Structure 1
Amino acid sequence: MDVVDARIERILKAAGDAPSVLNTQPWQVAVRGSTVTLRADRSRQLRHNDPQGREMLISCGAFLFNARVAARRESLTAVVTVLPDPDDALLVAELVLEPGSDPSDDELELSVAIEHRVTSRVPFEDRPLPADILVAIQRAAYAEGASLRTIQPADGSRAEVIALIRRAEAVAAEDMAARDEEAAWTTTWAGRDDGIPEKFLGRAPSNDDAPVRRFHASRGREPFERNSTLAVLTTPGDSPREWIAAGQALEHALLVAATHFVQASFATTVLENPTTRHDLRQALSLSAFPQMLMRLGTSPRPEHTPRRTLDATTT
C-alpha cells in the first residue's frame, strides 16, 4: 500500500472499531493518496448463515459510517460514492477525503463515541429507554435512510417477536453447518484478533422471554431483564445498497446511543432464517425490510472485542 497519512491512519483505525456480525470484520481498504477504497472481504463472509452477504454489507456500512465520522474529527470531509462499480459486487464504496471545516461539538461527540460504543451481552437495567434518548437514536437512523421501530414491553407483538427469536435459534441448533460456522467465530485463542471470545459471549438467559440471543458456546445461565427496549432497524428496500445504508444507520444510531451511555446487543439469528425474517415482518406489520434486531439498555460497559491491525485490513 502507499504510505498512509497519519490522519488517514487514525480514520481507518476508528473505522475498524465498527460492529460486525460475529466480529468477522469483513472489510478491506486500499489507500491511494486521499482516496480510500472500501471492499467487502468475501473470505470473512458467513457463507451458510449469510449467503447473500447482507450482514457482511451491513458490517461494511458500519465501517463506512465510522470513517465519515472520524474524518470530521480530522477536519476532513469524506465525499462518499457507494457501490461505484456495478460490475464489482465487492466494491462497497470510495471515499475521497477533502479539506473541511473544523468539526462541530456534535461531530466531536460522535467521534469520541466510537471509542465507547461496545456490544453488551449481559443483563441490562430492567426498564425501557427514556423517550428523549430513544427519539435521538431514531433520528440518527433516519438521517441515514433507515427507520427504527421500537418494540416496548407493553407492545402486543413483543411476545411473538421473542418467540420468533427462540424459534430461529432452535432451528439453527439442529443445523450442524450453522453450528460449525458460529463455533468458528466464537472459538478463540490468545492473540486472535477477530471473532467473539468466550468471555464476551455472556451467559445464556435462563428465562425464555429474555430479549437476547443465545450462543451455543455460552457457559452457564442467568436471568435477564424483561423490560428493556427492543428495536428493529428497517430499510425501504432490500438490495445491497440498502444493506450498506442499514449499516451506516445502525452505527449512527449506536454512536448516539453511546453518548447517552446506552449499549446494544443483537439478535441476528432470527433475520438469518428467511422464514422467521418474513414472519417478523408479519408480526410487526412492517412494509419495510428488517435488517437488524437489537435490545437497547444500560449495563456495566464491557471490554471491546479484539480488532485486526491496520496492516491486516489494508492492501
Structure 2
Amino acid sequence: MAELTRALADAAAMAGRAPSVHNTQPWRWTVLPDRLELTLDTHRQLAAVDPQGRLAIVSCGAALHHARVALAAEGWEAVIHRLPDPARPDLLAVVLPGEARTPDPAAMRLVQSMWVRHTDRRPLGAEPLSAAAVSVLAEAARAEGVHLHVLDPGQVYDLAAAANRAAAVEAADERAQAELAYWTSRGDGLGVPASAVPAVPPATTVPARDFGRPGTLPVGEGHDRAAVYGVLYGPGDDRADWLRAGEALSAAWLTATVNGVALLPLSAVIEVDVTRSALRRLISGFGWPYLVLRLGIADPEHAGPAVTPRLAPRATVDTSRAQ
C-alpha cells in the first residue's frame, strides 16, 4: 500500500475513536488510492428516536473531524467535499489529501487525546470551570462553523425542565425503550456498556439519560452545581449542518480533553420535537440546536470510566479498493 493510501487508511481507522450517539458508530469509510469516502451506515441509525438521522450524521461529522486531524498529524492537508453527490445522499463527505507538509503539533496533541477521550456521566467535582476554558472550547466549535451558547442559571433550570419532559416522552415510547435496551445490552464493541452507566442515578440539576437499568460505574456524593451548560447551534437544520455540528463536537471535545475539561453531550432533548423547540427558544431563535453540552472538572476523588470499546477497524473501514 502506497504511503498516501496507508495514511488515508490509518486516518479512517483513527476516526473509529470518535463519539457517537449510544456508541452506534454509524459510519462507513471506503479507502481509495487517492481519497476517502465517508458514508452513513443506516443499519446503525436509531430508527425510533433519530428517524431523520440527525444524531447519526452528527456522529459521522465527529468521525470526519477525527480523520481530518489524524491526517494533519501525519503531515497531510485535507480538502473536504461535504455531501458531494445529490444522487448518493448517504455519501456524507469525500476527503482528498492535498500537499504533504510538516506534521501539525496541535493536531498531534489532539490525536493523542483521541485515545483517552471518554464519556463521563458522573457528577462533576466542585471546582468551577473558568470562563477562559469555556472560551477555548467555544472557539474550537466556532472554527467549524458552529456556535456554543452558554446558558445562564435561569436557563439551566429551563433546560432541566426540558430534559425531564424529554425523559417522560421517551419513557412512554415502547419503541424508544426497546431501542435503548438493545444498545445497552451488546458486548461486541457497539453500544453503551454497563461500565459507562452510573450504578445509581447521579445528583444533577439537569437529569442525564435514564438507561432503564443500573450500570457498574461508581458515583460519588457530589453534585453538578459547578457545571456549565451550553447549546451547540448553527444557522441551518439539514444534513450539511448536522455534519458540521459533529465536526464541531469533535473539535470541542478533543480540545476539552487536552485541557482537562470533562464534556458530556446530552442528546435526549434533541430527540423530542417539543423539547428541541424549547431549546431553540433558549437561544432566542438565532439558530437550530444540535446538542447540549455539560462542561466542568471531573471529580478528582473517583476514577472515571474506561474508554468505551469500539468496533475493529475492519468493520467500518473498507480497504478492498485501495490498490
How many angstroms does 1:225 deviate by?
A: 1.8
Counterpart CA distance in 2 for 1:56 and 1:2 is 32
Q: 2:175 aligns to what SS in structure 1?
A: helix
- Asked whether the 8 Å contact 1:157–1:284 carries over to 2, the reply is no
Write the letter of the residue equivalent to 2:173: D
- Asked whether the 8 Å contact 1:188–1:197 carries over to 2, the reply is yes
Counterpart CA distance in 1 for 2:77 and 2:287 is 31
Q: 2:28 aligns to what SS in structure 1?
A: strand
Per the normalisation by structure 1, the TM-score is 0.92
Counterpart CA distance in 2 for 1:67 and 1:176 is 36
Counterpart CA distance in 1 for 2:182 and 2:207 is 24
Write the letter of the residue equivalent to 1:194: L
Classify 1:208/1:259 alpha carbon distance in 2 versus 1 (closer, same or farther; 3 Å): closer
Write the letter of the residue equivalent to 2:147: S
Classify 1:258/1:265 alpha carbon distance in 2 versus 1 (closer, same or farther; 3 Å): same
Q: 1:205 aligns to what SS in structure 2?
A: coil
How many angstroms does 1:211 deviate by?
A: 4.7
The aligned counterpart of 1:287 is: 286
The aligned counterpart of 2:231 is: 232
Counterpart CA distance in 2 for 1:194 and 1:283 is 33
Classify 1:4/1:22 alpha carbon distance in 2 versus 1 (closer, same or farther; 3 Å): farther
The aligned counterpart of 1:307 is: 310
How many angstroms does 1:258 deviate by?
A: 0.8
Percentage of pairs with the same residue: 34
How many angstroms does 1:8 deviate by?
A: 2.7
Write the letter of the residue equivalent to 1:205: P
How many angstroms does 1:222 deviate by?
A: 6.3
Q: 2:285 aligns to what SS in structure 1?
A: coil
- Asked whether the 8 Å contact 1:204–1:214 carries over to 2, the reply is no
Classify 1:188/1:80 alpha carbon distance in 2 versus 1 (closer, same or farther; 3 Å): same
Deviations 1:177-225 (Å, cap 9, x if unpaired)? 1000111111123xx1110111211245354624533321234986532
- C-alpha RMSD of matched pairs (Å): 2.1
Deviations 1:127-173 (Å, cap 9, x if unpaired)? 44211111110000000000001125xx2111111111011001111
Counterpart CA distance in 2 for 1:206 and 1:99 is 49
Deviations 1:80-110 (Å, cap 9, x if unpaired)? 1000001211000001123321123322222
Counterpart CA distance in 1 for 2:2 and 2:89 is 24
The aligned counterpart of 1:89 is: 89
Counterpart CA distance in 1 for 2:3 and 2:204 is 52
- Asked whether the 8 Å contact 2:186–2:193 carries over to 1, the reply is yes
Classify 1:127/1:165 alpha carbon distance in 2 versus 1 (closer, same or farther; 3 Å): farther
Per the normalisation by structure 2, the TM-score is 0.90
Counterpart CA distance in 2 for 1:54 and 1:204 is 30
Counterpart CA distance in 2 for 1:98 and 1:279 is 43
The aligned counterpart of 1:214 is: 210
The aligned counterpart of 2:149 is: 149
- Asked whether the 8 Å contact 2:31–2:37 carries over to 1, the reply is yes
Write the letter of the residue equivalent to 1:27: W
How many angstroms does 1:262 deviate by?
A: 1.3
The aligned counterpart of 2:132 is: 132
The aligned counterpart of 1:244 is: 243
- Asked whether the 8 Å contact 1:264–1:294 carries over to 2, the reply is yes
Question: Mapping of 1:1-315 within 5 angstroms?
Answer: 5-152=5-152, 155-189=153-187, 192-205=188-201, 207=203, 209-219=205-215, 223=221, 224-299=223-298, 300-315=303-318
How many angstroms does 1:303 deviate by?
A: 1.1
Write the letter of the residue equivalent to 2:213: A
Classify 1:59/1:21 alpha carbon distance in 2 versus 1 (closer, same or farther; 3 Å): same
- The list of structure 1 runs, each at least 4 consecutive aligned residues, that deviate by more than 6 angstroms after superposition, is 1-4
User: Which structure 2 residue ranges, 5 or more long, are not aligned?
Assistant: 319-323
Q: 1:178 aligns to what SS in structure 2?
A: helix
- Asked whether the 8 Å contact 1:144–1:245 carries over to 2, the reply is yes
Write the letter of the residue equivalent to 2:62: A
Q: 1:81 aligns to what SS in structure 2?
A: strand
Counterpart CA distance in 2 for 1:272 and 1:246 is 15
Write the letter of the residue equivalent to 2:313: L
> Larger deviation: 266-275 or 107-116?
107-116
Classify 1:286/1:236 alpha carbon distance in 2 versus 1 (closer, same or farther; 3 Å): same
- Asked whether the 8 Å contact 1:117–1:263 carries over to 2, the reply is no
Counterpart CA distance in 1 for 2:127 and 2:211 is 24
